[in-house]
Copies of this chain bind each other. A is one copy, B any other.
Amino acid sequence: MADSADYKFMKLSLSLAEKGRGKTKPNPMVGAVLVKKGHIIGQGYHRAVGKDHAEIVALKNTQGQAKGATLYVNLEPCCHSGRTGPCTDAIIDAKISKVVLAQKDPNPLVNGKGIAQLRKAGIKVVTGVLAKEAALLNDSYYAFYKNKRPFVILKLAQTIDGRIASLNGDSKWISSPKSLRMVHKLRAEADAVVVGTGTVKADNPALTVRYVKGENPYRIIISESLKFPAKTKLLDNNRDFKTIIATTEKAMERFSKTKKGHNVIYWLLKKNRQGGISLTDFMEKARDFNLRSLLVEGGSKLATSFLKADLVDKLILITAPMILGNGINAIDELNIRRLSQSIKFHDEYCFQNGKDFVFIGYPQKRGR
C-alpha cells in the first residue's frame, strides 16, 4: 500500500525525470529520489543516453549512505547491461530496503525481471504509484512497446478558426516565438520529423533543432510527386545523412533522371488502394529503421491522411489567437458525417503558451 509520502516523493521523481526531456532518446525520462526517515538523502535524473541512470545518480548523491533507504523511481530499474550496468545490482549493493515504482518497464529485456531480482534480494517493492502520470510522461516509450510501431505525434499550428494558412498559402508565422521553441523541443524529442511535399514547397523548412538544445531528428518527406523547388533545404543541407525521402518506385524512376539531394536516404514504399503511398508500409519501414517516435508536422494533406488511417497517437494543436475566415483547413475530409463519428480524445488538456494556446490529447482509436 502506498501512503501520501509515497505520492509526494514519486511526484518529485516525475518532475526530476521531466528535466531530461529531449535529451534521453531513445531512453525514457527517469527520475529517482532516495528517502531515509522521511528526509531526502539523494536525488537525480537520467540526463542523456549513455549517462548514468537516475537511480545511479541518486545513489552517488548519498555517498554510500543509502543503506535502509527507500528508493522512488518512475520506471522499473533495469536488470540488464546496456550502455551502463544493471541498476538492480547497484540498488542491492547499496542495501536499499524498499523500492517504490510508478510503472514496470515495457522493454522486454526488463519488464518485471528487475522487480523480481529486487524482491529475490529481499527488497520490498511497491508498484503503481502515480502510474498514469508516469505513463503519460513517457507516452511514446510505452506506446512503442505496446503497438510495436513508432509513436505518432501530429503537431499542427492553426488559427482559432482552424486554418493553417491563408488562401494565398501564407503560414509564416501563425504561432508565436514561444510556440516555435516548443516545436523545436518536440523535434529534439522525436526520432524523426515527417512532412509532406506541400509543406516543403510552401515553407521550405529545415526541420532542425535550433531554438533549444537537442539532437536533430531524422527528416522524412513523404512525397508521391518528388517535385521539389530548386533550393530545397531538406535536400541541400544534409551533411548529417538525416534526410529520408519516402516515395514509390515509380516516382523514384522519374526522380533519378533529375537532380537528387546529396546523402539522401530513400524508402521505396508500396501504394495503397487509392494509389497514394501506403502509410502502413511507411510505418513498417520506420519501425525497421528503428524509429520509435515520429513528429508529423503537416501539412493539411498529410495530417488528414494520418488521422484517416487512425495512426495518430497524440495530437499537439497550437492555436494562435487570430481569425482568418476562409483559408487552408488544418484538417480536411475524414469521411465523418455525424458528430457521433467524430474523433474523440482521452487525457486531453490545454494550456496557454505565450500568446497561443495549446491543446494536447490522445485520439481514441476508432477501429474500422
Chain A residues proximal to chain B, CB less than 8 Å: 158-163, 165-168, 170-174, 304, 307-308, 317, 319, 321-327, 329-345, 348-350, 352, 355, 357, 359, 361, 363
Contacts and interface: CB of A to CB of B under 8 A. Distances in A.
B326 A334 contact: yes
A156 to B, nearest CB: 9
B342 A334 contact: no
Contacts of A341: 166
A323 B352 contact: no
B333 A326 contact: yes
A331 B323 contact: yes
A322 B343 contact: yes
Q: Say how many copies of this protein the assembly contains.
A: 2
Contact of A345 (B161, B322, B342): B322
B342 A324 contact: yes
Contacts of A171: 339
A352 B349 contact: yes
A339 B322 contact: yes
A117 B325 CA distance: 50
Contacts of A337: 166-168, 170
Contacts of A357: 350, 357, 359
Given A321-B361, A323-B363, A326-B333, 15 more contacts: A161-B331, A162-B162, A162-B329, A166-B342, A168-B337, A171-B339, A172-B339, A322-B343, A323-B334, A325-B332, A325-B335, A329-B329, A348-B355, A350-B352, A350-B357
